[in-house]
């Protein structure tokens, strides 16, 4: 019986060997994949087992961590003035995951980033608890506060950029939410989460309107159309365009006028057309240059492309369209759609003598002991030639000094701007969006360009105008930036 016994011995050995091979496969070959599987709760437990690094504005953290009990997770994210900063920070929630900066730079904030390996090793050797790194933002606290306070209870968004670098100075969106309310994973957090959700809350407080919502840019888009006109060489700032107002849209009987300003707008120069926001003039220029030219110019300002700040901003759209639609798109209507950030980029490029800088909001990533990554300003391209940019500035300054944007005047500072009242809804029956874009200028160039949009469904229709509702907010933001420079 010994021969089969030996074979049984071998068979049992093979069984044990199969188990050994299997555990090696699972615990060595597959280990990394399983260990970091998104359903493996250990990932989250580890993530919240030590305080998270902070998001920093002007040297001060706008986030924090607090110890919690009663769950697997030891630390919970807290936010200082969470409602105001939510469009910048996003959220880091134990139950609902992370978004925006919290998510994009999660590995730095948790301290798991490969670039922090050296730090981690030192901490391990010296027995110090694991520390997360910090995300240092480019934001300006006073500008953010001005933007957030200015929007107040209204629905809308503000984006402000430093035109010379592309650094984002303010990014506000209202109505907003406090990410602290949903940072944990308790019953209360869940209740808050449901209450903030799209299904229960038509105001969508968790929507980042500055980056993720596109609006018809309305008359503020006329700056782009003017740029295209100047670049074509067919139009000049103080030369009569020869365009009659009202303008009859091509292939249509519809006439585009400018509510009572037709006399001023008839055969106006570009400067005057901009000053009084003449629809006829700019629709005709857009029509004259054609869809292709218009798309080209819009894309030079950053349209039709997502922007990563690093938080993703959705693409603003200048559409490929037929002649009548293209004419309307030239005055920021029809299928023309822009984010507040996009319009701030347009303004910034004009203020920066035509050079468009890539917008960014993270200045650097800091490990516990050293800077891990430093963002360098990056050029996106020359949106318009420098001389034409100067002419655009000239026009926008006229708008503020003696046109529809007079509400944006700042004593002792050169301000250029453009109002916009974007019609929307079928047959124009919904309340329009009030837009205002502007920049301030000093001897050393422009420190701030800002775009404001207010969607106010409660105001009386005839009270809504870019100059009235949006311009004061833009002024406050510009003032805040200028003050903090002094």
Partner 1 sequence: MSSINTGINTGSNTTVSPGGLPSRRNTELALLIFAVLIPVFAYANVGLAKDGTIPTGMISYGLGLGLLAGVTHLVVRRYAPYADPLMLPIATLLNGLGLVLIWRLDLEPALKPANAAPAQLMWSALGIALFIGVLVFLKDHRILQRYTYISMAVALVLLALPMFFPGVNGAKIWITIPGVGSLQPGEFAKIIITVFFAGYLMVKRDALALASRRFMGLYLPRGRDLGPILAIWALSLLILVFETDLGTSLLFFGMFVVMLYVATERTSWILFGLLLSAAGAVAVASVNQHVGSRVQNWLNPLALAPNGGVTETAQAMYAFGSGGLFGSGLGQGFSRLIGGIATKSDYILATVGEELGLTGLMAILILYGLLIERGIRTALAARDPFGKLLAVGLSGAFAIQVFVVAGGVTALIPLTGMTMPFLAQGGSSVIANWALVAILLRVSDTARRPAPAPAPSPDAEMTQVVKP
Interaction of residue 386 with partner 1, rule CB under 8 A: no
Which pair of tokens denotes residue 172? 């506000």
| 9 phi/psi in degrees, rounded to 5 | -60, -45
Interaction of residue 322 with partner 1, rule CB under 8 A: no
DSSP symbol at 338: B
Residues 69-88 within binding reach of partner 1 (CB under 8 A): 72
The one segment of 3-11, 57-65, 332-340, 392-400 that binds partner 1 by CB under 8 A: 3-11
Residues 35-74 within binding reach of partner 1 (CB under 8 A): 35, 37, 39-42, 45, 72
Q: Measure the CA–CA gap between 162 and 371, rounded to whole angstroms.
A: 23
Give yes or no for a cis peptide into 246 (omega within 30° of 0): yes
CB atoms inside a 10 Å sphere around CB 211:
28
Grouping H, G, I as helix, E, B as strand and the rest as coil, residue 401 is helix
The one segment of 8-16, 133-141, 158-166, 366-374 that binds partner 1 by CB under 8 A: 8-16
Nearer of residues 33 and 67 to partner 1, judged by Cβ:
33
Which pair of tokens denotes residue 244? 């009659």
Residues 326-345 within binding reach of partner 1 (CB under 8 A): none
- Least Å from the CB of residue 43 to partner 1: 9
| 159 phi/psi in degrees, rounded to 5 | -130, 130
- Least Å from the CB of residue 247 to partner 1: 58
Nearer of residues 20 and 195 to partner 1, judged by Cβ:
20
Give yes or no for a cis peptide into 175 (omega within 30° of 0): yes
Give yes or no: 286 in active site: no
- Least Å from the CB of residue 42 to partner 1: 5
H/E stretch holding 374 = strand 371-374
Nearer of residues 124 and 386 to partner 1, judged by Cβ:
124
- Least Å from the CB of residue 33 to partner 1: 7
Interaction of residue 20 with partner 1, rule CB under 8 A: yes
Write the DSSP assignment of 348-392 as a string of letters. HHHHTTTEEEPPB-EEEEE-SSSEEEEPPP-EEEESS-HHHHHHH
Interaction of residue 124 with partner 1, rule CB under 8 A: no
Interaction of residue 1 with partner 1, rule CB under 8 A: yes
The one segment of 15-23, 184-192, 359-367, 368-376 that binds partner 1 by CB under 8 A: 15-23
Which pair of tokens denotes residue 449? 């360009």
Strand duo 414-424 + 92-93: pairing: unpaired
Which pair of tokens denotes residue 168? 């984002």
Contact in structure between 481 and 163 (CB atoms under 8 Å): no
Which pair of tokens denotes residue 91? 């959220």
- Least Å from the CB of residue 31 to partner 1: 5
Active-site residue, from 93, 180, 219, 286: 219
Q: How many residues contact partner 1, by CB under 8 A? A: 36
- Residues labelled as active-site residues: 219
- Positions touching partner 1 (CB under 8 A) are 1-9, 11-13, 15-16, 18-20, 22-24, 26-28, 30-35, 37, 39-42, 45, 72
């Amino acid at each position: 019986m010994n021969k089969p016994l030996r074979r049984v011995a071998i068979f049992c050995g093979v069984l044990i060997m199969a188990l050994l091979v299997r555990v090696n496969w699972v615990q060595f070959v597959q280990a990394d994949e399983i260990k970091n599987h998104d359903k493996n709760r250990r990932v989250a437990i580890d993530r919240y087992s030590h305080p998270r690094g902070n998001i920093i504005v002007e040297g001060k953290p706008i986030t924090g961590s607090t110890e919690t009990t009663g769950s697997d997770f030891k630390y919970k994210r807290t936010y200082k003035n969470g409602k105001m900063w939510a469009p910048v920070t996003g959220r880091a929630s134990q139950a609902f995951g992370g978004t925006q900066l919290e998510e994009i730079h999660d590995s730095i904030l948790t301290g798991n980033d490969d670039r922090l390996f050296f730090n981690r090793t030192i901490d391990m050797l010296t027995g110090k608890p694991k520390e997360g790194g910090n995300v240092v933002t480019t934001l300006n606290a006073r500008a953010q506060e001005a933007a957030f306070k200015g929007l107040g209870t209204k629905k809308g968004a503000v984006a402000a950029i430093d035109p010379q670098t592309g650094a984002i100075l303010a990014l506000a969106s209202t109505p907003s939410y406090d990410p602290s309310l949903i940072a944990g994973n308790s019953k209360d957090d869940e209740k808050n989460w449901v209450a903030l959700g799209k299904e229960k809350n038509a105001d969508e407080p968790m929507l980042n309107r500055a980056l993720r919502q596109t609006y018809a840019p309305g008359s503020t888009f006329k700056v782009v159309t003017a740029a295209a006109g100047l670049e074509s060489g067919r139009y000049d700032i103080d030369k009569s365009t020869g365009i009659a107002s009202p303008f009859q849209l091509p292939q249509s009987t519809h006439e585009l006028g400018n509510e009572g300003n037709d006399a001023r707008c008839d055969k106006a120069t570009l400067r005057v057309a901009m000053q009084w926001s003449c629809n006829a003039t700019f629709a005709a220029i857009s029509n004259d240059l054609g869809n292709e030219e218009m798309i080209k110019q819009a894309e030079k300002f950053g349209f039709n492309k997502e922007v990563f700040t690093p938080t993703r901003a959705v693409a603003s759209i200048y559409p490929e369209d037929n002649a009548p639609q293209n004419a309307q798109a030239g005055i920021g209507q029809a299928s023309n759609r822009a984010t507040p950030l996009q319009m701030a980029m347009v303004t910034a490029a004009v203020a920066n003598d035509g050079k468009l800088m890539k917008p960014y909001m993270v200045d650097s990533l800091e490990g516990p002991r050293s800077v891990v990554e430093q963002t360098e300003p990056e050029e996106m391209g020359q949106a318009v030639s420098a001389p034409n940019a100067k002419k655009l500035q000239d026009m926008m300054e006229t708008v503020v000094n003696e046109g529809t944007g007079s509400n944006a005047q700042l004593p002792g500072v050169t301000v250029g701007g453009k109002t916009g009242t974007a019609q929307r809804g079928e047959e124009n029956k919904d309340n329009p969006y009030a837009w205002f874009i502007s920049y301030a200028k000093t001897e050393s160039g422009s420190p701030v360009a800002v775009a404001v949009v207010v969607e106010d469904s409660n105001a009386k229709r005839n009270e809504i105008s870019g100059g009235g509702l949006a311009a004061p907010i833009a002024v406050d933001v510009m003032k805040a930036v200028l003050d903090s420079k002094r």
